[in-house]
Amino acid sequence: MSKVFTITSGLETMGALKTGGQGSVYKGRRMGEIITAIKLLPTPIYSETADDKNFTHFQNEVQKLKKVNEQPNPNVVKLVSSGITETGNFPYIEMEFIEGPDLEELLKPPHDPVFTIKECLKVAEQLSGALAHCHRFNVKHGDIKSNNIKFNKRTGNYVLLDFGLAIMSDEDRRTSLRHAGAIEFMAPEQNEGRMLFETDVYSFGVVMFELLAGIVPFPLKDKGETSRNAVMLAHMEATPPNIFALRGKALPELWSSEKRENEMLIPEWLFAMVYRCLEKKPEERFASGMALHEFIVKNSVSFAKGEASGQVKLLQQENRKLLEENRNLQNELKQYRSGKITVTSYQNASGENVIIQKKKSSAPKAFLWILAGLFVAAIFIYAIQLNNKSNVINNNAKNVLSDSLLHITTEQQQQLNNARDLLKANNKDAALDIYQQLSQQEIAQAMFQYANLALQGKNDRLDCNEAFEMLTKASDKNYLPAKTTLGFLYAFANDENTLKQLNYYARCVFPLNVSKGADLLMQSTVQGDVTAEQWLSKLDKK
């Protein structure tokens, strides 16, 4: 059992919780049975006067922490007291004791090796809220890492702990980080001794990466100086690996196939946020915890309401149903104009309009206006439904589109990037070689590019029929650019001028199917494609 010793009158330790370069944390007991956590800093203070710079700095930083606690935050550990130990003259801060595991422990057996997306969003919102709260009071934590974030078993909240690094002097901080800091979570500028708001944002990004992928971007192989230097250099120069690929490998095999599939649908904004936090240059990250928290709250609203990608598919089905009803109304309108049917309209007991259709050789013109009004009303209702669920579309629809992206490896993604760069450099043959190879592996992005270049007359390795068939396959894989392009070609196949403007029609003739083209364009529009929306609008005007 660890030795019990007195920190100050009425406060004693009950054993060490953890030790590190920034000092040691002990389980403390105040006034007999009140349990707290005590952070002892490694640099002693010899004079509790303004002449001792360490004491002055300690006092200044503790005052900041006290201001943080003046407005309690459920995701920031509470400061109970601070002072100098009676023996050894070591500065200490006493904090509330949080009962529960930290994130590092929650990623180890018997727990799953990754967090669910829902729980990742909870951590993101609560941890960013904690950073925002601290940054408002000009407190930079400086040591955000997975074992400094605990799950409070009593409240169900995630709590940011250990502000030891925040109250150290610059020199002590540099020394501590150099020899014992959690280098896997350190921002590039920390190697120079700098600590900014953006430094906490970077470390936040590493934590979120770890929860999604099951591993930090740049793991430490061992505790040797060579390994630490390699990780430090990676933070400064290397591109973070692919979260999708790592998460796919880390998902528990015990999860059902449906759960595994759903847990690969990472919201695009969450994916982009993590990589923005991990930018090498501080000015390219979120400027502070406030900016980060605002971004997360704004984008996670629809998910927090329980609207997942399955509801997007339901919305698509509803929209297709409305489109079909609208087509039927158009057909009926044509029949009215030809005088084949007529309409009687009345209100039932519920106040609903009931329409009765009768065949007739000729129709009064007034009834044409009734049907036209019904058609406009149907379109209006459709627009309202689409607008009411716009948050689902904006935040979740693109996840459906990314299905093909989720199953490519890091190497395949790099090949796609190389092909794109080769095209920009006018090295078409080398780019086509890559696209051809990846198309044989049925990678949707490559199939689209390879077919699209052929349809534009820039790839003579495929004839028109082969290219159109490959484009169709890419569309069937739910790859958005392919779906939009295919819809456009079906809808505008006989519009020679429009095709020529877009470099199509160079050597191919496309099958005209306006109905199918409109349906594809509508699907793409629902899924957030602005280009598809523009083509659909032009099609409506024709």
The residue among 49 and 320 whose pLDDT is bigger is 49
Q: Which residues contact 261 (CB under 8 A, 6 or more apart)?
A: none
Say what percent of the chain tops pLDDT 90. 38
Has residue 128 got a pLDDT over 90? yes
In single-letter form, the type of residue at position 438 comes to: L
Has residue 392 got a pLDDT over 60? no
The most confident of 41-55, 202-216, 295-309, 438-452, by mean pLDDT: 202-216
Domain membership of residue 47 (yes or no) is yes
DSSP secondary structure string, 438-481? HHHTT-HHHHHHHHHHHHTTS-TTS-HHHHHHHHHHHHHTT-HH
Among 241, 273, 305, which residue terminates a domain? 305
The number of CA neighbours under 13 Å toward the Cβ of 419 is: 23
> Is the Cβ–Cβ distance between 490 and 498 less than 8 Å?
no
Domain membership of residue 458 (yes or no) is yes
> Is the Cβ–Cβ distance between 357 and 343 less than 8 Å?
yes
Domain membership of residue 312 (yes or no) is no
35 with 109, same domain: the answer is no
61 with 118, same domain: the answer is no
CATH number for position 82: 3.30.200.20
**What is the mean predicted confidence (pLDDT) over 389-414?**
54
DSSP secondary structure string, 26-74? EEEEETTTEEEEEEE-SS--S-SSTT-HHHHHHHHHHHHHHHHHHS--T
Residue indicated by tokens 């990589």: 275
Enter the pTM of the model: 0.53
Angle between helix axes 514-526 and 530-541 (nearest 10 degrees) is: 140
258-272 pLDDT per residue, tens: 999 999 999 989 999
44 with 142, same domain: the answer is no
Among 96, 114, 131, which residue terminates a domain? 96
Domain membership of residue 427 (yes or no) is yes
Cα–Cα distance measured from residue 100 to residue 154, given in angstroms and rounded to the nearest whole number: 8
CATH number for position 241: 1.10.510.10
426-483 pLDDT per residue, tens: 899 999 999 999 999 999 999 999 999 988 888 989 988 899 999 999 999 889 999 9
Domain membership of residue 321 (yes or no) is no
Q: Please, what is the Cα angle at 89 between 88 and 93, to 5 degrees?
A: 115
Q: In the structure, what pLDDT confidence band is assigned to residue 408 with cuts at 50, 70 and 90?
A: confident
First-to-last CA distance in the chain?
84
- Which residues pair with residue 91 across a beta bridge? 84
183 with 293, same domain: the answer is yes
Cα–Cα distance measured from residue 205 to residue 217, given in angstroms and rounded to the nearest whole number: 10
Domain membership of residue 353 (yes or no) is no
162 with 117, same domain: the answer is yes
In single-letter form, the type of residue at position 190 comes to: Q
Domain membership of residue 460 (yes or no) is yes
- pLDDT for residue 153: 93
> Is the Cβ–Cβ distance between 336 and 427 less than 8 Å?
no
Of 389, 397, 386, 381, residue with least CA distance to 524: 397
Range(s) of the domain holding residue 494: 410-541
12 with 121, same domain: the answer is no
267 with 416, same domain: the answer is no
306-338 pLDDT per residue, tens: 454 454 455 556 556 656 666 666 666 666 556
Among 305, 328, 351, which residue terminates a domain? 305
Using CB atoms within 10 Å of the CB of residue 140, give its burial: 0 to 12 exposed, 13 to 18 middle, 19+ buried. Answer: buried
436 with 456, same domain: the answer is yes
18 with 57, same domain: the answer is yes
169 with 225, same domain: the answer is yes
CATH number for position 532: 1.25.40.10
Helix/strand/coil (H, E, C) string of 356-424? EEEECCCCCHHHHHHHHHHHHHHHHHHHHHHHHCHHHHHHHHHHHHCCCHHHCCHHHHHHHHHHHHHHH
> Is the Cβ–Cβ distance between 17 and 62 less than 8 Å?
no
339-391 pLDDT per residue, tens: 655 544 444 444 444 444 545 444 455 545 554 555 544 444 444 444 444 44
Has residue 168 got a pLDDT over 70? no
Domains in the chain, number: 3
114 with 144, same domain: the answer is yes
107 with 239, same domain: the answer is yes
Any idea which of 80-89, 94-103, 279-288 has the lowest mean pLDDT?
80-89
Domain membership of residue 451 (yes or no) is yes
Any idea which of 46-50, 116-120, 141-145 has the lowest mean pLDDT?
46-50
- pLDDT for residue 399: 40
- pLDDT for residue 438: 93
